């Protein structure tokens, strides 16, 4: 099992009650402004059953209304059944928005079969799991935009500040969106705001997973727990402390901070539009 780095004393990035309401107001205003500026009629959200998409869906309903928010549940054969059930629960029971469920695995198979260098029989082997996992994310983006085009809507992203900083998203996959309402929130703050707006605890506290391949979890793939990652980002990437000072402050090895720095630098291309000469 992959060892996951943890700080002895991660930073507490919690908002006060006043700040939580300010964040809620800021994000809901942002969503409504984005739709108004684009003269869009609706918001389209890919629902995974995870905390990020659940929070965005709640805030979108706050900003607009349930009739103006549409959810897509896009399972593949590597998605945990519980997460897909949670995604439908968010759409149906908690928010009452229109949604559809589309199994993307036949599309994944078609893409794999079309590439002479890939084999359906081998697609779950370890060396191909990232390739196929990213294809799953990009297929979800295509379906999201097909529905957004049909509805005259915008695709709302579900990426947070922590994931963006280390490139933990698929370029032109879950990163292919019209706007990112929770882009200003570290993962710890996503959970807190979710609880504040009424997301049930079992959803707010569940283990994060992009579910791009079997048994994948965010923290095991990153090799660091989110509270520790958030703390390093605040102190070293977004803040003024050196690698050594950050490691000492948090009680982690310097190599953990250096790894986050390396992820940040290597993923810079994901955070900007394609360059030109």
Query: At 256, phi and psi to the nearest 5?
Result: -70, -45
Query: At 121, phi and psi to the nearest 5?
Result: -65, -25
Mean pLDDT over each residue of the chain, to the nearest integer: 91
Residue 1 reports pLDDT greater than 60: no
Least confident piece of the model among 83-92, 191-200, 235-244: 83-92
With vertex at residue 187, the alpha carbon angle to CA 74 and CA 267, rounded to the nearest 5 degrees, is 80
Whole-number pLDDT of residue 78: 72
pLDDT > 70: percent of the chain: 91
Strand, coil or helix: 65: coil
Which tens digits make up the pLDDT trace of 205-240?
887 665 555 656 777 778 899 999 999 999 999 999
Whole-number pLDDT of residue 83: 60
- Residue with the larger pLDDT of the pair 31 and 272: 31
Which tens digits make up the pLDDT trace of 68-89?
999 999 998 876 666 678 899 9
With vertex at residue 44, the alpha carbon angle to CA 39 and CA 47, rounded to the nearest 5 degrees, is 160
* Contact predicate 101/73, CB 8 Å: yes
Concatenate the DSSP letters of all residues of 100-116 into one string.
EE---HHHHHHHHHHST
- What does pTM read for this prediction? 0.92
What domains are defined for the chain?
17-211 (3.40.50.620)
* Contact predicate 143/137, CB 8 Å: no
- What mean pLDDT comes out for the span 100-127? 83
């Amino acid at each position: 099992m992959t060892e996951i780095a943890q700080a002895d004393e991660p930073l507490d990035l919690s908002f006060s009650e006043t700040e939580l309401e300010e964040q809620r107001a800021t994000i809901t205003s942002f969503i409504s402004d984005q739709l108004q500026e684009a003269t869009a009629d609706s918001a389209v959200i890919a629902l995974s059953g995870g905390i990020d998409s659940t929070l965005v869906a709640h805030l979108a309903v706050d900003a607009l209304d349930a009739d103006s928010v549409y959810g897509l549940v896009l399972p593949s054969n590597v998605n945990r059944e519980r997460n897909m059930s949670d995604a439908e629960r968010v759409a149906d029971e908690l928010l009452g928005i229109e949604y559809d469920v589309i199994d993307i695995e036949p599309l994944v198979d078609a893409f794999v079969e079309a590439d002479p260098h890939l084999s359906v029989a081998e697609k779950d082997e370890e060396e191909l799991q990232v390739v196929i996992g990213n294809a799953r994310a990009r297929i979800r983006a295509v379906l999201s935009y097909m529905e957004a085009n049909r509805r005259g809507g915008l695709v709302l992203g579900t990426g947070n500040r922590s994931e963006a900083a280390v490139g933990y998203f698929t370029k032109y996959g879950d990163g292919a969106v019209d706007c990112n309402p929770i882009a200003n929130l570290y993962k710890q703050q996503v959970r807190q705001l979710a609880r504040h707006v009424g997301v049930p605890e079992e959803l707010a506290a569940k283990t994060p997973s992009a579910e791009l391949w079997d048994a994948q979890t965010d923290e095991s793939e990153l090799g660091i727990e989110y509270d520790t990652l958030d703390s390093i980002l605040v102190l070293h990437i977004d803040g003024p402390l050196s690698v050594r000072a950050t490691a000492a402050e948090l009680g982690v090895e310097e190599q953990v901070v250096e790894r986050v720095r390396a992820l940040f630098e290597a993923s810079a291309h994901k955070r900007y539009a394609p360059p030109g000469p």
